[in-house]
Amino acid sequence: MQAITRRLGQHSLRPTPSIPSINSIYPLSDHYYGGDHPRYGSTLASHKGMGHLVRKGTGGRSSVSGIIATVFGATGFLGRYLVQQLAKMGSQALVPFRGSEDNPRHLKLMGDLGQIVPMKYDPRDENSIKAVMAKANVVINLIGREYETRNYSFEEVNHFMAEQLAVIAKEHGGIMRFIQVSCLGSSLSSPSRFLRAKAAGEEAVLKELPEATVMKPAVMIGTEDRIMNPWARFAKKYSFLPLIGDGSTKIQPVYVNDVASAIVAALKDDGTSMGKVYELGGPEIYTVHELAELMYDMIREWPRYVNVPLPIAKAVAMPREVLVKKVPFPLPNPEIFNLDQILAFANDTVVSENALTFTDLSIVPHKLKGYPVEFLIQYRKGGPQFGSTVSEKVNPDSYP
Ligand SMILES: NC(=O)c1ccc[n+]([C@@H]2O[C@H](COP(=O)([O-])OP(=O)(O)OC[C@H]3O[C@@H](n4cnc5c(N)ncnc54)[C@H](OP(=O)(O)O)[C@@H]3O)[C@@H](O)[C@H]2O)c1
């Protein structure tokens, strides 16, 4: 623990003697770590003494599921879908946020009054992490970032923070389930530092909490995604899309809501998903080029690509990597030319043969074509009904 907090630049926590590890959520312990401690200023009502997990209602938004989940990283893309699913079954979601009060504002409406509790915290201050976990019986870690900033390295965000959450959850003593969201393709031998840090994060969490569940989603698609949106923006702005390499890398994109459903399914099971690692890929494998075709089809533009060889793509992305920690001001976040992602996308990333998948959680993932990519109609020039699909289109170059 000392090592982790030192790496996070903070003072160490005093270890608690004889810490029980996490258990199945059935039955729920009535001990909450420091729930009544004045230092932990949670606004939640105390459930002390309620004994077993109390469930009430028909399972809808106004029911009580008994799950009180601290969702780290809930202000991000996956977070909103997960909080919505938790809230609609009557769970309480504690939403730690840094920065502005506006960051978690959209989440508050997802649940009944008082069910979504935004709590300001500092990811580098373990007391504030304890405060947001104090009343929880479930911890879900969605924290992650696929590029470095001046303040945060890949390792700190994707590895050390996960490790610290696991250590604190273990010390808490009342956390029944810990879900770590990692990334498909994470490996200690990956050429991408992000994927290496993700793999180290998984390992660290499982070392602390062998009963934790690890979810490894493939690249996620949805309204706020960070693949189809940047592609569509780029294609609209410059009338072409750079295809790094020749676009033949295989990926298995997954609809974001399915990943949220998988996490909820794991929470709701009888403990069978505890200590397991799930690889969450969509039902179809695409090449990067095929996925770009789907994007063009949705935005109703004629596809134009510029193949960018790997060394040139790396050269374009390199200056940010070199300068990010050196200049005294923040640099723009990389979208298409993110060096680490270029390295990650150099290899195929699909679900491995013997992995546990959606099927093991009784979920049938959605095909991308259709509703999951419908958000792209916002990029059609002339409005959502404009134009025709690529398959119906005539090549404009063939006009006289
Ligand atoms: N998006 C994908 O296609 C994809 C694919 C596979 C795996 N994943 C993984 O799935 C998880 C969720 O992904 P996502 O797309 O929802 O990510 P996201 O939109 O980037 O959100 C990441 C969350 O992590 C928080 N975070 C980032 N850096 C932080 C820091 N230094 N300190 C504290 N919090 C920090 C963000 O908080 P702020 O709002 O305060 O920045 C945000 O709430 C991540 O672990 C990601 O690596 C994502």
Is residue 50, in this structure, part of any structural domain at all? yes
Q: Under a CB-based contact definition with an 8 Å cutoff, are residues 201 and 216 in contact?
A: no
Return the ligand 1 atom nearest residue 141 CA: 45
How many angstroms separate the alpha carbon of residue 77 from the centre of ligand 1? 7
Sign for the CA dihedral angle at 60, 112, 143, 133 comes to: negative
Cα separation, 366 vs 247, in Å, equals 23
Task: Decide whether any atom of ligand 1 lies within 6 Å of the 251 Cβ.
Answer: no
Phi, psi at residue 289, to the nearest 5°? -65, -40
* pLDDT bucket at 236, cuts 50 / 70 / 90: very high
Q: What is the pLDDT of residues 265-274, one digit of tens each?
A: 999 998 999 9
What single DSSP character describes residue 38? T
What is the model's pTM?
A: 0.88
pLDDT at 39 over 50: no
Residue 336 lies in a domain: no
Instruction: Please give the mean pLDDT across all residues of the chain.
Output: 86
Asked whether 67 lines ligand 1 (CB < 6 A), one says no
Positive or negative: CA dihedral 227, 232, 233, 239: positive
Does ligand 1 lie within 6 Å of residue 145's CB atom? yes
Into how many domains does the chain fold?
A: 1
Q: What is the CATH number of the domain that holds 62?
A: 3.40.50.720
Tell me, yes or no, whether 120 lies in a domain: yes
User: Please, which residues bridge with residue 242 across strands?
Assistant: 306
How do residues 353-400 score in pLDDT, each as one tens digit?
999 999 999 999 999 999 999 999 999 987 776 665 555 554 555 544
Ligand 1: which of 10, 75, 155 to mutate, judged by most atoms within 8 Å of the beta carbon?
A: 75
Across the range 245-256, mean pLDDT stands at 95
150-195: per-residue pLDDT in tens?
A: 999 999 999 999 999 999 999 999 999 999 999 999 999 999 999 9
Report yes or no on 248 lying in a domain.
no
Q: Is residue 34 part of a domain?
A: yes
Q: 399 in a domain, yes or no?
A: no
Q: What domain range is 112 assigned to?
A: 2-222+253-280
Q: Identify the sign of the CA torsion 108, 111, 112, 116.
A: negative
Q: Within a domain: residue 346?
A: no
The finding on whether 77 has its CB within 6 A of some atom of ligand 1 is: yes
Residue 216 lies in a domain: yes
